[in-house]
Structure 1
Amino acid sequence: MHLFKKIFSKSRAQEGGIFFDTIQKILGFTPDTIDHYKRAFTHRSTNKLDAAGNPLNYERLEFLGDAMLSSVIAAHLFNQVPSGDEGYLTKMRSKIVSREHLNELGRDLHLIDLVESKVLTQHFGENIHGNLFEALVGAIYLDKGYIYCEKFIHNRVIAPYVDIPKLEGKVISYKSLLIEWCQKEKRTFHYDVFEDNGIDAQKFFGVKLSIDNKIIAKARATSKKKAEEIASKRAYFAFQEKINNK
């Protein structure tokens, strides 16, 4: 019986090859249906279709994984913070499953190395890392069900990263925080965005953030959104004492 199990396990690994071995190490358990995981790393640029003619890529799994992450994290917070009201729990969950954090998780696991794509990896946007992590979670749910999915999220997200006291002080979006403060304090604010090519080959955007008609911070980045966030962060530190005492 022991010999049969050994041979069976070996054949399963050979069937999936290096991909199977890598996925198994990431998961911490043996997959039952490797095709779910192959789909989780198939980019839409491959133009693959299933037998019914439906697109065969990770985007639907990404949707499913997002829902599973939200569910497991919500249950964890509900149990761990009995004094937290709905608003508090929602804010804390948002911090844990923020795009920034999911991208960090995907990068740490080197998920982009497993992607099948007709697009060069350097042309992917930053969010590819988080998208793949969500797709992986979705694949786990389809392959093993809720309990395995919950264990994976606990081992890879909750145990190493969820420190509730630290999360309470974590800022997800400096821009949102600054706008909220300006609105409460009846202060005017304005983001002046302009294209800033400079001497770089890559396109950059410059931002000037004004509060009460006075320029408070400037920033430069490869997208308007990033430049606005950087400028907002610099402005936050300029007004930190006033904002934190609001």
Structure 2
Amino acid sequence: MIVRNIRNRIKLLFSAEKKLYSSLLNLTGFCTNRIELYKIALTHKSQTMRQKGRSLNNERLEFLGDAVLETVVSDIVFRHFPKKSEGFLTNLRSRIVRRESLNKVAESIGLTPYISVSNNSTSHNSYLGGNALEALIGAIYLDLGFRACQQFVVRKVLPVLGSLKQISEEEVNFKSKLVEWCQKNHIKLEYTLKQREGTDDNAPLFVSKVLLENSMAGSGTGYSKKEAHQNASKEVLALLRRKPKYVQTIMKKRD
């Protein structure tokens, strides 16, 4: 390990790409072995590279990094809260790995300026930084392994978001976030609400449906109107994050 670290530092000093090596050292806290992985991680699909007939951008590394990040965060919150329920742990994890949180981390650690992206894509992609952060974690995993990813999350990601206790006590207003997104993108947003019979305790159950540009986008249930709207909004926000093609479809309906 010591010999490898010395070799990496010598590489950093004499490589023609020493500026990138130095930047990655500052971003991640590690000396990298496979610089090509990080180049791909910082390449948005709008700037796709070609190599031996293959298209190279950060989408595959983003997919991998998303899974690694969820596993790392799951392990952290599981160990930190030994008496909490599965629902609590799931909710806390979702708050840490949501795109708004990852965007905040990407900005804070200075990742965003290194992303290679076309000007047109920058203005239409509010998740650019968060996606690149996941791709970076995917690159770290392939280059240095799972333990390095754990260290990166503990040292670089979580400090930006606050303590686990602070994060767990945040109340996320998903409806407000969806309304804000729709206003920003000039998308027509409607909620419908119905009440139906609840469980054995006879508590009423509310069903909220979200329509974007008059099309059904998602639904949610709850034992209050607010809870139903929140759950429906959360589902739609997740859809907008994970399905760029769906966003394009909604934009076309708007136009």
Range moving further from structure 2, 138-147 or 42-51: 42-51
Partner of 1:204: 186
Q: Deviations over 1:25-45 (max 9, x none)?
A: 111121111111000011212
1:17-28 equivalence runs, <5 A:
17-28=18-29
**For residues 165 and 211 of structure 1, do their structure 2 counterparts lie closer, same or farther at Cα, with a shift above 3 Å needed?**
same
Identify which range, 156-165 or 19-28, moves more after superposition: 156-165
**Offset of 1:68 from its aligned partner?**
1.0
Q: Which protein has the larger Cα radius of gyration, Structure 1 or Structure 2?
A: 1
Which residue of 1 is the match for residue 78 of structure 2?
A: 78
For residues 39-66 of structure 1, the C-alpha deviation after alignment (integer angstroms, 9 at most, x for no partner) is 0011212232332x33200011111111
Q: What is the Cα deviation at residue 145 of structure 1?
A: 0.8
| 1:149 match | 149
2:64 matches 1:61: no
1:135 and 1:103 map into 2 onto residues whose CA distance is: 13
Partner of 2:114: 114
> What per-residue deviation string (whole Å, max 9, x for no partner) do you get for residues 181-239 of structure 1?
xxxxxxxxxx9xxx98xxxxx96357687989xxxxxxxxxx98xxxxxxxxxx97xxx
Q: Is this contact kept in 1: 2:12–2:22, CA < 8 A?
A: no
* Contact 2:27/2:110 (<8 A) preserved: no
Cα deviation 1:159-185 (Å, max 9, x = unaligned): 4435233223312343299xxxxxxxx
Q: Percent identity?
A: 29
Q: Is the 8 A contact 1:98 1:172 kept in 2?
A: no
Structure 2: gaps spanning 5 or more residues: 195-211, 214-224, 227-255
Aligned partners of 1:112 and 1:121 also within 8 Å: no
* AA partner of residue 13 (structure 2): K
| Counterpart AA for 2:137 | V
Classify 1:124/1:165 alpha carbon distance in 2 versus 1 (closer, same or farther; 3 Å).
same
- Structure 2 match to 1:46: 47
Tell me if structure 1 keeps the 8 A contact 2:46–2:118: yes
Question: Which one-letter code corresponds to 2:69 in the other structure?
Answer: L
**Displacement of 1:21:** 1.6
* Equivalent residues in 2 for 1:1-246, closer than 5 Å: 8-12=11-15, 15-51=16-52, 53-120=53-120, 122-175=122-175, 204-205=186-187
CA contact (8 A) 1:45 1:119 kept: no
Structure 1 CA distance, aligned partners of 2:124 and 2:19?
Answer: 23
Aligned residues: 190
Query: Do the aligned residues in 2 keep the contact of 1:43 with 1:58 (CA within 8 Å)?
Result: yes
Change (3 A) 1:59 1:158: same
Q: Deviations over 1:76-126 (max 9, x none)?
A: 111110111211111110011111101111111232211223435642411
User: In the alignment, residue 58 of structure 1 is paired with which amino acid?
Assistant: N
* 2:49 aligned counterpart, secondary structure: coil
In the aligned structure 1, how far is the partner of 2:169 from the partner of 2:61?
32
TM-aligned CA deviation for residue 156 of structure 1: 1.1
- Describe the SS at the equivalent of 2:112: helix
Distance 1:161 1:27 in 2: 17
1:215 matched to which residue of 2?
none
Q: CA RMSD in A?
A: 3.3
CA contact (8 A) 1:92 1:167 kept: yes
CA contact (8 A) 2:27 2:111 kept: no
Residue identity in the other structure for 1:101: S
Q: Secondary structure at the match of 2:17?
A: helix
Q: Distance in 2 between matches of 1:47 and 1:94?
A: 30
